[in-house]
Amino acid sequence: MKAGFNPDQILFTGTGKTQSELKLAAEVGVHAIVVEDLRELQVLAGLPWRTAVALRVNLGLETKTHPYLTTSAVGTKFGLDLDGVTAALEQVRRAPRLSLIGLHTHLGSQLSQPTAYLSAVENLAKLAGELATLGFPLRFLDVGGGFALGFPFARLAEGLRGKVPVGLEIYVEPGRYVVAEAGCLITRVLSVKEVHGQRFAIVDAGMNDFLRPALYGAHHPLLAFPCREGEAMECTVASPVCESSDVFGTYLLPPPEAGDILVFMNTGAYGFSMASTYNSRPRPAEVLVWHDRPFLMRERETLEDLVRGEVVPDCLN
């Protein structure tokens, strides 16, 4: 809403919504609140506003991605299984101010092929048909996001032909796909060394600045400046945080030297939003480049920023 979107353009999703969040979403009238569990329905049923809801369905589908990035497989915490859907329908039926208008699922992230999405649509369409016979006509099916860069949307669209029941819209959530290429992380080489025959370039950015490589094993394209002459060499780009996982990966680089600039590409999604001050490291500045002009968007944090909110009890003074 702060970005200028009307509430009726918003689907409110997410595991573990608080009562105050649910109340705000219902009060402003979002397009639909995507319900994760029965407790959310109980909260919404007790509010004084008419509220549209959708049910997030955990389809139990396995996807080819990192284990931490799968969100609709057996054993994951997300959404409702079919027994949960049945219980949710009974709650909606008893709540006159709630209307069920859609089904939602999210399969995971970094999915490069349409196969899993087509299976999800088939499952949701079948369930939507069953709900219609029970008196719950729906408006949409939402297959979530998680599209890897280069995802073949034309093949997905072709595969959906004939699979979507008449009268139902298909929603997708291509957030990461839209913004990933809009950001990069710029870091400087502090030193170059060899340890047990392995070459390391130690840089001034760490996992607190950009968590994806340490958390998911993500490998981002890398540019090096200056691009000096010489045979490219294998080099592990490592960081200052005291964790063995705090490496950005192994790359073929022009012979690196202290002071070089390295640029990790495609960090516009899950980049700064996952940054932290772990190891007492202030977060970096953010700069927008607009038509070749730089604009400071967020100031670099300082050590003073890290302690500004701390309060020492009188008994310890």
172 and 188: one domain? no
* Total-model pTM: 0.87
Q: Which residues contact 277 (CB under 8 A, 6 or more apart)?
A: 208, 283, 301, 306
Asked, as a colleague might, if the bond just before 226 is cis with ω within 30 of 0, I would say: yes
123 and 57: one domain? yes
59 and 89: one domain? yes
- Weakest-pLDDT range from 45-59, 65-79, 198-212: 65-79
The answer to the question of residue 312 being in a domain is: no
- Tell me how many domains the chain contains: 2
**242 catalytic per annotation:** yes
Tell me the per-residue pLDDT of 193-223, one tens digit each, with 9 for 90 and over. 999 999 999 999 999 999 999 998 899 999 9
Half-sphere exposure of residue 240: CA atoms within 13 angstroms, side-chain side: 16
Q: What share of the chain is helix, strand, coil (3-state, %, to 5)?
A: 30, 25, 45
Domain-terminating residue out of 128, 152, 179: 179
Mean pLDDT across the chain? 92
What's residue 282's pLDDT? Answer: 96
**Cα 249 to Cα 88, 203, 275, 307, distances in angstroms:** 45, 12, 18, 32
Specify the residue for token string 């927008």: 288
CB atoms within 10 A of CB 208: 23
248 and 276: one domain? yes
Write down the catalytic residue from 184, 227, 242, 315.
242
Domain that holds residue 35: 7-179
Q: Are strands 293-298 and 286-290 parallel, antiparallel or unpaired?
A: antiparallel
Q: What is the CATH number of the domain that holds 118?
A: 3.20.20.10
Tell me the per-residue pLDDT of 138-185, one tens digit each, with 9 for 90 and over. 999 999 888 888 898 899 899 988 888 888 999 999 988 899 999 999
